Amino acid sequence: MDTIFALASARGKSGVAVIRISGPRAHAVARAMAGSLPPMREAGLRMLRDGAGERLDSALVLCFAQGASFTGEDVAELMVHGSLATVAAIERCLAQDHGLRMAQPGEFTRRALDNGQMDLTQVEALSDLLEAETESQRRQALRVLDGAIGKVVAQWRAHLIKAAALVETAIDFVEEDVGNFDDMILDELRAVQSGLRAELAGQRARERVQTGFEVALVGPVNAGKSSLLNALAGREAAITSDIAGTTRDVLEVRMDVGGYAVTFLDTAGLRDMAEQVEAIGIARGKARAEQADLRIILQPVNDISTGIEAGPQDIVVRSKADLGQGGDGGISVVTGQGLDWLLDEITSRLSAMTARDGVTIRQRHAQAMQQAEAALSDAIDKISQDDYIAELVAADIRTAMTALDSLIGVVDVEDVLGDIFSSFCIGK
């Protein structure tokens, strides 16, 4: 196994730069540069020197033993002054004087996966944490990084192992009177099935925390949708005018609302008498609004109806409240009336969507759980019959276990690793 190194902190001028070394020669190389090493997991100040004995920089040296490091290998970290010249000199020493190889993107994390320090869901969570833009994304990624999914899968797997053992007992002792285990097997399988269904029920909302929610602004022409978008964004993101039909396509603006990543969609104003190009924009806006997680329906105070049927998840507000009595929920981008209330209401609705307990957050997780749930449903249906073939039930249980193993990366992971690690920086 090669010993690799890379800059683990951001490249560029900084107060401190961290250079990570991992592999079987990590400690020997660090000792050769520093003269001596501090005790494991204790930082020590050392003067680093190159192969010719020339001073490179004073550094804090921190070492981790195999099995007790991020990668699971011997690791040394050199915390040096963060000038470009200093980092370049140390990297040159590691490569030329000691023959180490520069790490590839995500290679440190790949070694952590290979060495059992992390499972696949934790690798994904680390990627999500590095990309987190909002507080909700940070919290969710950190929870999965702590191993929440692996713990849940371990519980499900324990039930399935017990069920499989009971089925195998029935098969092995079919000619002996050892009793009927059907109720016990069903209890184990249904416990996992109910857990999978509960997890899948909140999957879409948790996935949206990472990818971002879509909130569509809809309403008749000149309802103030573009003006509201500009007010929420704090900039002139959309063109506004008194001319009906100014907005002809869906305009997207992404922002942080109450700790959630939200993309606001400014859609074309709805009206029956529209020329061809505007009609296309209206159709596109309707389609996007129907797919959005939340709709804000704007109705100007001087109009009696929006012509839109509001659903239970929609927020209906009276816009242009500065022109008349807006009443409850009235907003005005001119005076600022109601804007804080609207943002709070959006945050409340999104919080309610994510209130379900659960830990899985990616579409890949959902697909694995759906496969497991389908296999368990088949097994339960078979057992519910008076005369079933135990070998077929055992096969269904194995299928469910394989699906759960793929969820945490025990099997069938190579096809997804490339996509995951391509988003990592070299130092991870």
Q: How far apart are CA 14 and CA 244, in angstroms?
A: 52
Q: Please give the tally of structural domains in the chain.
A: 3
Q: What CATH number is associated with residue 198?
A: 1.20.120.430
Domain boundary, last residue among 49, 82, 114: 114
φ/ψ region of 19 (left if φ > 0, alpha if ψ in -120 to 50, else beta) reads: beta
Q: Is the pLDDT of residue 219 over 90?
A: no
Q: How far apart are CA 168 and CA 146, in angstroms?
A: 35
Token pair for 348: 């409340």
Q: Is residue 419 part of a domain?
A: no
pLDDT in tens, 377-419: 999 999 988 778 888 999 999 999 999 999 988 765 565 566 6
Q: Is the pLDDT of residue 166 over 90?
A: no
Q: What CATH number is associated with residue 86?
A: 3.30.1360.120
pLDDT in tens, 24-81: 999 999 999 999 999 999 999 999 999 999 999 999 999 999 999 999 999 999 999 9
Q: Is residue 425 part of a domain?
A: no
Q: Is the pLDDT of residue 331 over 90?
A: no
Of 384 and 222, more confident? 384
Q: Is residue 156 part of a domain?
A: yes
Phi, psi of 190 (to 5 degrees): -70, -30
pLDDT score at 160:
93
Domain shared by 132 and 197, yes or no: yes
pLDDT score at 278:
54
Q: Is residue 121 part of a domain?
A: no
pLDDT in tens, 186-203: 999 999 999 999 999 888
pLDDT in tens, 104-120: 988 999 999 999 999 99
Q: Is residue 422 part of a domain?
A: no
Domain shared by 318 and 376, yes or no: no
**To which residue do tokens 């945490």 refer?**
408
The verdict on pTM exceeding 0.85 is no
Domain shared by 140 and 104, yes or no: no
pLDDT band at 272 (very low <50, low <70, confident <90, very high): very low
Domain shared by 167 and 194, yes or no: yes
Strand-pair partners of 48:
57
Domain shared by 348 and 224, yes or no: yes
pLDDT band at 260 (very low <50, low <70, confident <90, very high): very high
Domain shared by 15 and 79, yes or no: yes
Q: Is residue 119 part of a domain?
A: no
Domain carrying residue 252: 210-353
pLDDT score at 252:
82
Which of 19-23, 141-145, 287-291, 350-354 has the least mean pLDDT? 287-291
Domain shared by 227 and 318, yes or no: yes
Domain shared by 218 and 322, yes or no: yes
Domain shared by 229 and 292, yes or no: yes
pLDDT score at 240:
46
